[in-house]
Amino acid sequence: MSSQVFYRKWRPQSFSEVVGQEHVIQTLRNAIRGNRIAHAYLFCGPRGSGKTSTARIFAKAVNCQSPIDGEPCNKCDSCAVINKGSALDIIEIDEASNRGIDDMNELKERVNYSPNFLRYKVYIIDEVHMITREGANAFLKTLEEPPPHVIFILATTDPHKIISTITSRCQRFDFHRLSSGAVVSRLAHICQQEGVKVDPEVLKLIARISTGSLRDATNLLEQLITYYGMDIRLEQARSMLGISGDLRIHELAGHIIARDVSSGLKVINAVANDGIDLRQFNRELVDYLRQLLLAKSGSADMIDATTDDLAEIQKLAGGATLDYLLNTVKLFSSIDMRMDTFSPLPLELAMVESVISASSKEKTAEQPSHGDRGGIRSTTTTARTGGPAEAARPSSLVSRTPGPETIIPNQAAQAQQAGFSEPPEDKEEKPVLPLKLDDPGDLEFIKQNWKTFINSMRGEGSGGNLDARLRYACEPVEIRGDVLVLGFYHEFHKNYIDNRKYLHLIEKKLKEVFGHTYTVNCILIQQGQKSELKPAGSNHLVEAALNMGARIIQENEETEKK
């Protein structure tokens, strides 16, 4: 076996050997057949997808003395010197190390020299997105109008970081991430040529871990051969690659579906105590939960599994709702274990939260609303001692059916729990929205019902979270005629709400809830302290302006000396 590493030894030498990039290869071969060679190309794509290998093959093909159907012959003197890596006219530059303006100026001088042996001088510039802006500007003129004997091939994994003036001067080709099937096929070919006996499941495992990078997959295969020799089994691959392959993944998934928190926590701690890499264990768990999600959504054909495993997945997925699986996958896939890879706490929290959140949603959905009569929807509330009832997180304050919406006081809810089939009739304890506001200047009434108003703002705003912007951020502090003054504790919240499009929504909802039209004015106050505002009546000009629809932007207090 050659001492040369696999990814170099088995690097493609012709376009036909490039895996999974047919759309790029066909275009380049047609360009060589028709002698329509551009002066600059941009190869974009993830690592290990074949960008540099394709660039080398293209450089060889344009210099080949007798190309065959757009392919390099690999027999002529030009191909031979390129294959040996001794061609002086094929220059590879890493922009991570040569990224400044001085490097670009040096490159501008070098391109003017004619090729030493080949027809074209080809510059393969890797990681071109690393070039500085000054260097890019120095390179632009050369890239746009290079000498006729020069071809530039730029390669990058982050095309969005390249300035548009460079991109516009190149023919761009986007390389795709390789499919698992393409990687497995290439690895199987390498094993056959090297005389390696390998379990087919090992190749699938390597392809999944490499996430579409053929170079990474080839390196992993070589590591396995170096460690275990020419006969590799699945258990050996799992052990070396850190894959638990543990049935406890399926066991934990079963406890998650069954919502058995106690058993799930026991499995997580058993895995942690056995010294298994928890990050890798979580990756495998998320992948398995994803398979359950696909099976539940009717996309079982997208799952890469055996017939028996697929039957088990479909059976397990049948025990959960699609919403529950979706929330579970989100929770476990968002775990961040970078700070502490040994603590099982993140997994434990995700386990508990997935069950609790599902139970909370189901309780909310199953809670009976005994007050539904004649299109009136009731929402249970809690009442403050000695004060009016306050809505406890209602889903909406607007009835979905015609008719007013009734809020059931705490006494009615207690009577309902005590066994009454219907809450007792007590019209005086059932305030109807809009709330009855006898005096538009009654600030105390608005304060007492302010949380009810905040809850009514749910779903409003461009992000649907205008209620969150108001909750705990402000309070009503004064009423000046038809002007309601809101005191904000922080300037950030005040500046956000003090926008006409949000003020319009708030004023509209104020009229719906309190039955009176108010103009909102935003000011800054100190939290926990009563605002000391100067009455608007102390200045007749201000009062007149407010009555005409003006808003106070800022107030300056002046101390008058006798």
Tens digits of residue pLDDT in 314-338: 999 998 999 999 999 999 998 887 7
- Quote the DSSP letter at residue 378: E
Look at residue 365 in the predicted model and tell me its pLDDT: 63
Domain with CATH 1.20.272.10 in the chain: 247-364
CA angle 381, 387, 392 (to 5 degrees): 20
CA distances from 348 to 282, 285, 326, 529 (A): 11, 13, 18, 42
Q: Which CATH number fits domain 180-241: 3.40.50.720, 3.40.190.10, 1.10.8.60, 3.30.310.10?
A: 1.10.8.60
Q: Does domain 437-548 have CATH number 3.30.300.180?
A: yes
- If one counts every other C-beta atom within 10 angstroms of the C-beta of residue 446, the result is 22
Look at residue 330 in the predicted model and tell me its pLDDT: 92
Tell me the Ramachandran region of residue 386: left when phi exceeds 0, alpha when psi lies from -120 to 50, beta otherwise.
left
- C-alpha span between 401 and 284 (Å, rounded): 47
Domain with CATH 3.30.300.180 in the chain: 437-548
Look at residue 328 in the predicted model and tell me its pLDDT: 93
Domain 6-174 fold is: Rossmann fold (3.40.50)
Residues 6+ apart with CB under 8 A from 24: 18, 43, 54, 173, 174, 175
What DSSP string runs through 489-549? SSHHHHHHH-SHHHHHHHHHHHHHHHSS--EEEEEE--TTS---PPPGGG-HHHHHHHHTT
CA distances from 389 to 230, 342, 392, 407 (A): 77, 49, 9, 8
Q: Which CATH number fits domain 247-364: 3.40.980.10, 1.10.10.10, 1.20.272.10, 2.40.240.10?
A: 1.20.272.10
Look at residue 56 in the predicted model and tell me its pLDDT: 93
Domain with CATH 3.40.50.300 in the chain: 6-174
- C-alpha span between 61 and 67 (Å, rounded): 7
Look at residue 402 in the predicted model and tell me its pLDDT: 38
- If one counts every other C-beta atom within 10 angstroms of the C-beta of residue 259, the result is 16
pLDDT < 70: residue spans in the chain = 1-3, 98-99, 242-246, 306, 339-341, 362-433, 462-463, 527-562
Residue recorded with tokens 């996958």:
329
- Quote the DSSP letter at residue 114: P
Look at residue 41 in the predicted model and tell me its pLDDT: 94
Sheet strand arrangement including 519-524: 474-480, 483-488, 519-524
Domain with CATH 1.10.8.60 in the chain: 180-241
Look at residue 405 in the predicted model and tell me its pLDDT: 38
Record the tokens describing residue 467, joined without a space.
């209620």
